Structure formats: C-alpha cells, structure tokens
Amino acid sequence: MIGGRATGPLSERKATCRAGSNIAFIKYWGVAGDFEDLNIPLNNSISMTLADAHTTTTVAWDDSGCLQEDTVAIDGVELVGPSAERTVAHLDRLRAIAGVSYRARVVSNNNFPMASGIASSASGFAALTVAGAAALGLHLDATRLSAVARQGSGSASRSLFGGFVEWERGWGGESEAKRGESESNSLLDSRSVARQLHSEDHWALRDVIAIVSTGAKRVSSSSGHRLAATSPLNAARTGCVGAWLETVRRAIAERDLCLLGPILELDALAMHGVMMTSTPSLLYWQPGTLEVLQAVRTWREDEGVPVYFTIDAGPNVHLICEAEAAAEVERRVGALPAVGRVLTSGPGTGPELLDGHLI
Amino acid sequence: MIGGRATGPLSERKATCRAGSNIAFIKYWGVAGDFEDLNIPLNNSISMTLADAHTTTTVAWDDSGCLQEDTVAIDGVELVGPSAERTVAHLDRLRAIAGVSYRARVVSNNNFPMASGIASSASGFAALTVAGAAALGLHLDATRLSAVARQGSGSASRSLFGGFVEWERGWGGESEAKRGESESNSLLDSRSVARQLHSEDHWALRDVIAIVSTGAKRVSSSSGHRLAATSPLNAARTGCVGAWLETVRRAIAERDLCLLGPILELDALAMHGVMMTSTPSLLYWQPGTLEVLQAVRTWREDEGVPVYFTIDAGPNVHLICEAEAAAEVERRVGALPAVGRVLTSGPGTGPELLDGHLI
C-alpha cells in the first residue's frame, strides 16, 4: 500500500481529481514582498490550461484519528521530511478552512516529468486543492478554489479553469495589517485569483513541449520567485507587462498567432533575463534549450514555419503553434539531437473529479 | 599579390601595426541615438587588452594616384563591395584628417577566429587606425588615435591602450548642433576616448577563451548596437552600470577576483538579456555556450575553482581567472565536448608598430 502508515483501520473521506498543467504566455515571476506567504504575484499572468499534461491526485482524509501524520506519494515515491512540507502546508490550509484536524494520505501521479519546466506544481496543487476540498465536503466555487490553490503554488491558481486563463494580481498596495483579520479570511480571500478568458474550444492552439532534460532543477521556482526583486532588470520587466497583457488578451480573442508569438518570446526571454541576473543567478537553460531556440528561429525566419517558443523556469522549451502546424513542428523538433521526448497538448478543461481512486 | 589592383607602379607610404583585442568586464552595448555615426556609447566600459589575441595590419597608401580604389584583404580573403565598406569608411576618416585622397591597400591578419565573440573589430580597427595614421605621417597621440578608432568600432577605442582600460562615454547631453563645427573636429574630438587604468603588469589575470563556434554571426554587433534601445530592459541595465563600474575599478585596483567575478557575470548576463529582448531579438548563444556556462558555475560552486565567465556579442565564453588557476581551467574547459579550441591570454600592451610588412 503506497502512502500508508496507519496503525489501525481507517475511516476515510476520499476524492480524486485530475487537473491540467498550464503554459503561461505572460509569465508569473516574482512575489510581492509583503505577501510572500500568500503568493501575491508582481504582475498578472495569462496561460492556456493543458489537456494532455496533467496530475491525478487522490486525497484520503482519515477522520478516525488513526493516521498519525500526513503521507504523500508522488509518482510512486513516498516523500518524507522537508520534501513533503509544501504538501503538508497545503493540507493545513484545507484543515483550517474546514476546521478539522484529520491527517490525510495523498497519492499523486503526473503524466509528464516533474521539476523540469512543465508546471507540475500548477496541476499538482490544483488537483490537491480540488480533491482535498471535495473529500472534506467543502462547497467552494472555482474562484475560491483558485485562491486556495494559489497559496500552494501561484500558477496552480490558473489551473482551476480550462481554456485561456488570466490570473489577476488583485492585491495592490494594501498594508500587511489590512490583509485580513483572521487566518481563515486570508485563506479564502479572493482578490488574487484566476478567471477564464475563453473556453478550451475557443482556439485550437498547441503546446509542443520539447523535453531536453528531465533532471530536477537546482533551484525550485518557488524559491526563485523570492529572488526576482534582486535582479536589476525585474522592475523594467514588470513595468512592461501591462502592455503585453493587453496584446496577449487581444491576440487570444482574435486567434492571432502573429500577434501573440512575438510577445510570447519577448516575455519568456525577459523573465529569463531577470532570472539570470538575480542574486544568486538562476540559469535554468541547458545546451539543448539553445538548440531548440535557435532551431525555432531558423524554421520561422528562413522557412516560414508559424511557431514561437516560450520557456518556464526550467530547460524545456514550449513550442506554440496552431493545430494544423503541430505535426510538422513535432517532426522537426523530434529530430533535434538534444530533444529526448516530445509531448503535445491542446487547451484542456478545468479540474475534473473522477470516480476511481489511486488508493 | 593579395589586395593589389593597381595598373601601374605604386609609390607607397606603408606601416604595419599589431594590436591586441580586448575583453570587456563592463560591456559596451548600445550607442547614443544622436551620435550613432560617432559611436558614442550609452555607458562607460572597462576591459583588459589581450596579449595573445591580436590583429596585424599593414596599410599602404598609394600617393602616385595609380590605385583606383581601396583594397582590403582580411585573413587572406579579399573583401569586395559592402563587406569592405566599413574599412573604406575608416580610411576616409584618416584621409579627411590628413587632407589627402590617396587610396590604400590594407592587409590584415587575425590570430583568432573572426566574428565569433572575440572582438576582431576591436583589434582590427585599432591596428588599422595606428598603421594608417603612421603611414600618413600623422602625429597623433594614443588618446587622439583612440577617438579615431572608436568611430570605426567602439571597442577599438579601448585597444589603443595596454593593460586595464576604461572607455569614457564622454559626450553627454550635447545637442547634435553642438557636436562640432567641422567634420575634422568631430573626427579628432577626444571627449569619448579610452584611458589606461593600470598597465599590463598590474595583475596577472587570464582570459581562457572557450571557442564553441567559429561560424559568423547572423547579426553583427555593429548593427546590434543600434537595437539596444528597443529592449525594455536596456534602460535598467545602463542605469546600473555606474555602480558596477565603480566596483570593477576597485576590484582591478585591489586585484580582487571575488569582487570582480560576480559583476563580470552579472553585466554579461544583463547585456545578453537586453540583446535577447531587443526587436529583432538577438540570440547570440549556442548550445555550447550553455554547456560552458553551466560547467563554470558547477566548478566554482561545487568544487571551488576560482573562475568566472563573461560573453561578448557571440557564442564563445571567456573564462576569467588568475594565472595560477589558468592551467586547471584550460584543462577542464578543453575537456567539454562543445569546446573546439581554447585560447588563453593575459593582459597585453597597447598597439605596436612593426618593422616588417604584410605586403
């Protein structure tokens, strides 16, 4: 039995959720200093929820009191000590909202490699939030769930919705004192949440993910967010994001890849410029990353292939194109020596509760 | 005979100069809009002149009037049409200063690959300026020669001096009208010139150059300088450079690599952040670039090897270390699969006139 450490029979409240990861077109990078623990971002972000890169999570709360501590297994590996802390902290949020002290068993599986630029924390914390809340019988709408998921992982707030999604910064210049009188108020405060711009049927866009490295990152993106403000380039990027968001919203509304693409690349490169110049410097790129970036530029500029890139906090490259170009892009990117695996996804729905369970 | 197109016997005024390239610790990237033709930079820069990466150039002016046009041969290849224009424009400057109309034959050889991140234009235009002026019998001091060289290639202004050199922006908010009443005034105006901070004997620093690509760049750095202002990150970088210059001056004065190194990497990454986010985007890095960058970080952080990187407008990586670490750094970098060739240089002297000639 995976994830079990119970000493007696368990009485369980159980639910399973599958949630898609998402790929951001305008990136979330950096948290506001006063609100670090709440993951209030420095800027709005816009993403597409992915149909085919998802996490399936079962949360089983033990209301018998037999389970002494939370157990967490991801992709078949039981997490112990510090590696489970982030999940346990999120279970604490759900316990605080429900007013219970049940421990939980969590089993979670990704259908893609973790910690390598595909946002496993986005789909993971979205699925954990939805399954955990459902199993506790909490009646929270998607907006409230987005607020809760955000506190586990900022980008998870966007995975609460399908299709094309904007996460609004929400909180502005409020002082620390004003942010909420009680802990539970803060947990459900819905100022900084995602909303759907368009459903998954709006635009047949594809994210062709070139996986150049499956190794774990040296610095997790959750730590990296705390470093954004140390970069001399950070304020310049966040100062531009307002205009870029407007362009991206319009590009999505009009299904205009030629409008979307250049901003997509610009913001990804600006974000990595910020990362590389933070202290300590975050250099997420690997040789294979550059092989793909250079190839994409050549294909588009010399051969007219309509494809653009974006890169999350990792070495892998997301190639964004329309459905009709996807096969050609997959063929080309799969032939690059540095690319180990190619995973393609269109826009997907929001999280779904499933009938079966992983435990 | 290379470079000859004369129809009759030539009467020649000839000189040969060898000038070192240089590696910038604080980069020159971007020219001031009002002064594009004069190469007035957006910020001061600091470099080390290289002893072992140099250009040797012979300029032979034909005062007989037989030579119909300038001829230019670089590394054994005769340049024709647009590829010779930049050299011809520089010969025009020397002609204007001397008040002559002689055509010239120019033969120039580099001891390193051109257009790949080692500043061949720095050593090339320094050598061209010194040889050309000497052959015309112009009596110009190094500061005046630096001003002239700057107009051929900004970084060439620094190669007029040996050791550790700072190029001062000089011109500030002057209006276009004030910049000089006559053309020859502008040519010799010495406000934006380099000066020596310390001689080549001051600090036994080494530049271990990892050559990962010898291919020519898609966008030359002289075109790239015009694009800096299109990057949303440019003003943030130039706004920080003042503080970085101060640190670098102090680090060189005190021979403190631990002080110099982090700023070296920071400014190189900031400059490439600007390049990547300009319009059009300049992505000079290749897969091998990242292989070297990641390796340097690992060697330093995990194994304590005292080495830092910087990168010019190209894919090659310059590893900066002290003389006693150079052999170890060379051995390590030479073993990386992506590194084709390693070239090491210490600080060198300023340009030297040679007795022999290439033609």
What is the interface pTM, i.e. ipTM, of the complex? 0.89
DSSP A216: P
Structure tokens at B20: 């070192």
DSSP B76: T
3-state secondary structure of A339: coil
Chain A residues whose CB is inside 8 A of the B285 CB are 290
Q: What pLDDT is attached to residue B2?
A: 38
DSSP A158: G
| pLDDT tens readout for residues A134-182 | 999 999 999 999 999 999 999 999 999 999 999 999 876 544 445 554 4
Place of tokens 């890095």: B285
Task: List Cβ neighbours of B344 (8 Å cut-off, separation of 6 or more).
Answer: B52, B206, B207, B208, B209, B326, B330
Residue B272 has pLDDT above 90, yes or no: yes
| pLDDT tens readout for residues B52-97 | 999 999 999 999 989 999 999 999 999 988 889 999 999 999 999 9
Chain A residues whose CB is inside 8 A of the B262 CB are 279
Minimal-distance CA residue of chain B relative to A236: B233
| pLDDT tens readout for residues A254-305 | 999 999 999 999 999 999 999 999 999 999 999 999 999 999 999 999 999 9
Q: Does residue B185 sit at the A interface (CB-CB below 8 Å)? A: no
Structure tokens at A99: 């007013």
Of the candidates B323, B320, B305, the one whose C-alpha atom is nearest the C-alpha of residue B260 is B320
Q: What pLDDT is attached to residue A181?
A: 45
Of the candidates B44, B22, B47, B21, the one whose C-alpha atom is nearest the C-alpha of residue B252 is B47
User: Among B267, B276, B281, B316, which would you mutate to test the A interface (most chain A Cβ atoms within 10 Å of its Cβ)?
Assistant: B276
Q: CA-CA distance, A242 to B21, in Å (whole number)?
A: 43
Q: Does residue A314 sit at the B interface (CB-CB below 8 Å)? A: no
**How many residues are given for chain A?**
359
Q: CA-CA distance, B351 to B349, in Å (whole number)?
A: 7
Q: Does residue A286 sit at the B interface (CB-CB below 8 Å)? A: yes
Q: CA-CA distance, A88 to A73, in Å (whole number)?
A: 12
Q: In whole numbers, what is the pLDDT of chain B averaged over residues?
A: 91
What does DSSP say about strands A71-74 and B164-167: parallel, antiparallel, or unpaired?
Answer: unpaired
Q: How confident is the model at residue B29 (pLDDT cuts 50, 70, 90)?
A: very high
Structure tokens at A214: 């499956």
Q: How confident is the model at residue B181 (pLDDT cuts 50, 70, 90)?
A: very low
The alpha-carbon radius of gyration of chain A (Å, integer) is 20
Q: CA-CA distance, A148 to B22, in Å (whole number)?
A: 54
Determine contact, residues A72/A90, Cβ cutoff 8 Å.
no
Q: Does residue B287 sit at the A interface (CB-CB below 8 Å)? A: yes
Q: What pLDDT is attached to residue A145?
A: 98
The angle at the Cα of A122, spanning A117 to A127, to the nearest 5 degrees, equals 140
What is the distance, to the nearest Å, from the Cα of residue A33 to the centroid of all Cα atoms in its chain? 20
Cα A180 to Cα A138, A169, A176, distances in angstroms: 21, 17, 8
Q: How confident is the model at residue A224 (pLDDT cuts 50, 70, 90)?
A: confident
Structure tokens at A196: 């759907």
- Cross-chain residue pair B287–A338, CB shorter than 8 Å: yes
The residue type of A340 is G
Strand partners, B347: B50
Q: What pLDDT is attached to residue B201?
A: 98
Determine contact, residues A125/A90, Cβ cutoff 8 Å.
yes
